[in-house]
Structure 1
Amino acid sequence: MLEQWSLGRSLVVVLVVLIVCGTIPLSVAAQTDGQTGGTVVVEEGETVDSLEAFGGTVVVSGTVTGDVSAVGGDVRVEETGEVGGDLEAAGGSVTIAGTVDGDVDAAAGSLTVTESGTVGGTLVAGAGVVTISGTLDGDAEIGADTIQLGDEAQVAGDLRYDATIEGDTDVVEGELEEDPALGVDGAPMIGPLASWVFAAYVLAANLLVGALLLALFPRFSDGVAGHVAGEPLRSGLVGVGALLGIPIVLIALAISVVGIPLSLFGGLLFALVLWIGFVYGWFAVATWLLSLVGLGNRWLALVVGLVAGAVLSQLPIPVIGEAISLFVLLVGLGAFARALVGRWRHARKREYPRRTGAGTDGPATE
């Protein structure tokens, strides 16, 4: 039985790590590739030919010699970032703090060209709020609720717009033309839409991880749910201890040169534990609620719990929603930790008689 547990544990660790590789920050190593993940990054000092990305956050800190097409909750070209071609971006927010040599076509809740940002070609944007504090070397066509022109902004070409303009319009060197045909009817929906699309991606990843956990560890998963239903306060307190204590240990390890690799590995492992705790938390809470109406299907509980969590994260109730999510994370993390400790103690009790030779006629063996 212990051997089966070890084999199952090894399998789930491998599978979950593979999934994590698709959702933790990704460095773009390919010359031309489509990338998806929680965060997609072109690192500072890195050069790629082009980038097509979908993620919660898409960051260009290095160099993309060609075009960038990005969809994400947050799309950013950092100060050190350079895009040699065009930038097509859709997201909750799009920020250009670096250089885009070609055209920019953006649909977002907000678009910002910072003081250090430069757009070499034409800027076409539909957004709720557009802030220009940097340099536009070409023309601009903007449909927005509000256009904010910073004191350091420079628009070398014409500006066609349909919006309320705030700031000094003298920064526009070309013609300034209001054009109601540009419109912005759909632009305010881009941010929420991108957020919901990413929420669906996260939900799919959570469901996959939850399905692996339930399939490989059904009794263990039921035990986690039992800890939450039976002693939610105790599980929550254990979760608080883990959430606060483990980072302190990792920081202490990072102080020493020898401990730096351990702290980095520990940080990755801790992120994985938090993820599993979050999944287990919603599963356990849903299991308890469904039991109140006589439903005891663990698979139904997994789906109901994670879908409820995904929907809650998108509702316009930030304080209440964040408080509920934090509570679920804490009880899930604490129950997961308690179940692991219980499993370890059980294994120790089974191993002890074999090691000491208790209950046998022969001598103790190692």
Structure 2
Amino acid sequence: MRRVLALMAVVVVVLSLFSGVAAAQETRTGEAVIVGEDETVDGDLRAFGGTVVVQGTVDGDLTAFGGDVLIEGEVTDDAEAFAGNVRVAGDVGGEVGAAAGNVTIGEGASVGALSAAGGNVAIEGEVVGDVEAAAGSVSLGPEAAVGGDLSYGGELNQHPDAEVAGSVSEESTSGPVPGPIGELPAPPTWLGPLYWLLVNLVLGAILLAAFPWFSGDLARTAREAAPKSGGVGALALVGIPIALGLVAVTVVGIPLSLAGFLLFLVLLWVGSVYGRFALGAWLLSLADAENRWVALVVGLVVVALVGSIPFLGGLVELLVLLLGLGALVLVLYGRYDDARAREPSATA
């Protein structure tokens, strides 16, 4: 699910960078972006803010990126949102595509179709067409009405009074996969984790080969100052998106903010791999051994194995990310500080 959300975030950013800027398209940014109750936006609207609220009408598509997105009025076409929370309490004529911690189609709301990825997806109103939901939990309230098919991934909680006109199916890799020469065997469930293990191994090998001294300093920092590294990682994880959001308040800052979000996603990936490397180096040190390549493999394998455990795996992966991200920031800042300290002597 984390990879799905990250992928959708990248898609939203890339589409924002490269989509056409037609005259009928409007962009709004700010801490709070609000379409007033008596206001009508003629054409598509792109909104970037801490909170995005549509109380009036968007006569076109809505693309929203923020902490909270609330649609109380009407969006005549499609609505796409990447946010912490997405709630539709009004009408969306087209499809709602959402990646969020919580996605809610409220009671009395009506949307054309729903495609959502999140921690929780709740349907309490009407979905005219199909629903595709990938979440930890998918719930249908007593007033929920789905006019098409419902396909879901995760745990489904359906009230007895909820109506689904089409089929209800759980997305699974246990069955055959259609292919051009007939049905092909489904890939085993362990193939996905193995693929990401190998991808992270390749990235880690590149980092260790290209920056051996830097990587060694980072592992030592993570081991000797683990609480500080974790704290700095938590601050970076929360603070950087907030700072980028503030940069996006001005029209001039929008391109910088979007590019910054892309770099931030890369930083998270590098930090997570370095966190695994630091964990492996610490485990080797307990056996009085030291080998950066073995440390990388050990860290990746241990986190991959623990990551398969429900709840505990997610918690461990988060802690490893915070450790690696914080140590990465500390070492980068230390190198920058050393460079500044040497500047006067170099120019003397």
TM-score of the two chains, using structure 2 as the length reference:
0.52
Give the Cα–Cα distance (whole angstroms) in 2 for the partners of residues 273 and 199 of structure 1.
21
1:136/1:229 CA distance change after superposition, 3 Å: closer
Q: Which of these residues, 165, 177, 187, is aligned with residue 154 of structure 1?
A: 165
* Partner of residue 242 from structure 1, selected from 236, 240, 249: 236
2:116 corresponds to: none
Mapped partners of 1:194, 1:254: distance in 2: 43
8 Å contact 2:307–2:316 — kept in the other structure? Answer: no
Which of the residues 127, 130, 137 maps onto 1:116? 127
Q: Helix, strand or coil for the counterpart of 1:280?
A: helix
Structure 1 contact 238–334 (Cα < 8 Å) conserved: yes
Q: Deviations over 1:185-224 (max 9, x none)?
A: x96957xx87643323322221121111101001100000
Give the Å deviation of 1:281: 0.7
Q: Is the 8 A contact 1:203 1:310 kept in 2?
A: yes
Match of 1:339 among 315, 331, 335: 331
Q: Which runs of 5+ in 1 are unaligned?
A: 1-19, 30-43, 46-60, 63-77, 83-96, 100-111, 120-128, 138-144, 164-183, 357-366
Which of 206, 209, 229 is 2:203 aligned to?
209
* Aligned residue number for residue 348 of structure 1: 340
Q: 1:298 is matched with which residue?
A: 292
1:169-248 alignment runs, 5 A limit: 196-248=190-242
User: 318, 333, 336: which one pairs with 1:326?
Assistant: 318
- CA distance, structure 2, for counterparts of residue 302 and residue 349 of structure 1: 32
Q: Deviations over 1:149-170 (max 9, x none)?
A: 8654435xxx9x9x9xxxxxxx
Structure that is richer in strand per residue: 2
> What SS is found at the alignment partner of 2:288?
coil
Larger-gyration structure (1/2): 1
What CA distance in whole angstroms lies between the structure 2 residues aligned with 1:151 and 1:338? 52
Cα 1:147–1:226 change in 2 (3 A) is closer
Tell me, what secondary structure is at the counterpart of 1:255? coil
Asked if structure 2 preserves the Cα contact closer than 8 Å seen for 1:309 and 1:325, the reply is yes
Two-structure CA RMSD over aligned residues (Å): 4.7
In 2, the alpha carbon distance for the partners of 1:293 and 1:274 equals 29
Structure 2 distance, partners of 1:347, 1:79, is 56
The correspondence of residues 268-283 of structure 1 with structure 2, limited to 5 A, is: 268-283=262-277
Percent identity of paired positions between Structure 1 and Structure 2: 39
What is the aligned residue count? 229
Q: Matched residues in 2 for 1:259 and 1:334: separation?
A: 26
Q: 1:215 to 1:245 in 2, by over 3 A?
A: same
* 8 Å Cα contact 1:196-1:314 kept in structure 2: no
Q: Could you state the TM-score of these two structures normalised by the residue count of structure 1?
A: 0.49
Structure 1 residues 195 and 80: CA distance shift in structure 2, 3 A: farther
Conserved? CA contact 1:253–1:259, under 8 Å: yes
Amino acid at match of 1:134: V
